[in-house]
Amino acid sequence: MSTFRKFAVAIMALIVVLIAVMLATSVLWALRAPHADPEFSHAGPTLESVRALTSLVTTKVTLADAIVSEISGFTGSMSAVLVIRGDALIGIDMEQARISDKDDSARSLVLILPQPTVIQARVDHERTRVFALDRHGFWKLMRLDDVTKQLVDQGMREAQQTIEKAASEPATMATAREHAQQVLAAFASSAGWQLEIRWEVPPETR
């Protein structure tokens, strides 16, 4: 074997030994180094994150009722019974939400919310029906298509008012508050926090 070939083989052997020493050193260092578990901290729910849940705390309720609408004249009258169906959206103005107490060590906070309000109430015209239509007096003898249309239109307006009133009933508002509490409590729990909700007292009851 030539001198140059012997020299090249020696260099290659030296490189292999150095690589092996470096790998062994890295493994030993990794085994000896203390393994610290990563620490994560969560500042808890913020007003910004809570206010982003506006759409989630909106409650949709379905309402149904029956009303009687009537039109009277000098010679008779006409009445209609409408079976009305509708729905309402009841929401909470999350822009008015505020945090009153926050305990980072106990991971708990108190959230003050305004009372829910009716955002939208509407009559479902496709599902609302005229159940009965009666004429009284001399109106029984006349064809009163215009009066019939007027009566139905009047009934629909009364139906809208009925839906709006039903949406504002205490039981409906209680449902909206319960729904909001469930959504917000689940949101806080997912971050490892306990949430207590307190509702603003309406001005008229103070």
Which pLDDT belongs to residue 83? Answer: 92
Which pLDDT belongs to residue 97? Answer: 87
Reported pTM: 0.63
Quickly state the pLDDT bin for 75 (edges 50, 70, 90). confident
Q: pLDDT tens digits, residue range 147-167?
A: 888 888 898 999 999 888 888
Range 76-85 average pLDDT: 90
Q: pLDDT tens digits, residue range 14-63?
A: 455 445 555 555 555 555 544 444 343 445 567 676 667 676 778 888 88
Quickly state the pLDDT bin for 1 (edges 50, 70, 90). low
Quickly state the pLDDT bin for 6 (edges 50, 70, 90). low
CA atoms of 170 and 24, how far apart (whole Å): 74
User: Residue 115 above 90 pLDDT?
Assistant: yes
User: Residue 120 above 60 pLDDT?
Assistant: yes
Range 87-100 average pLDDT: 88
User: Residue 137 above 50 pLDDT?
Assistant: yes
Q: pLDDT tens digits, residue range 153-203?
A: 898 999 999 888 888 999 989 999 998 999 888 888 888 889 999 999 876
Nearest to 159 by CA among 58, 64, 49: 64
Quickly state the pLDDT bin for 7 (edges 50, 70, 90). very low
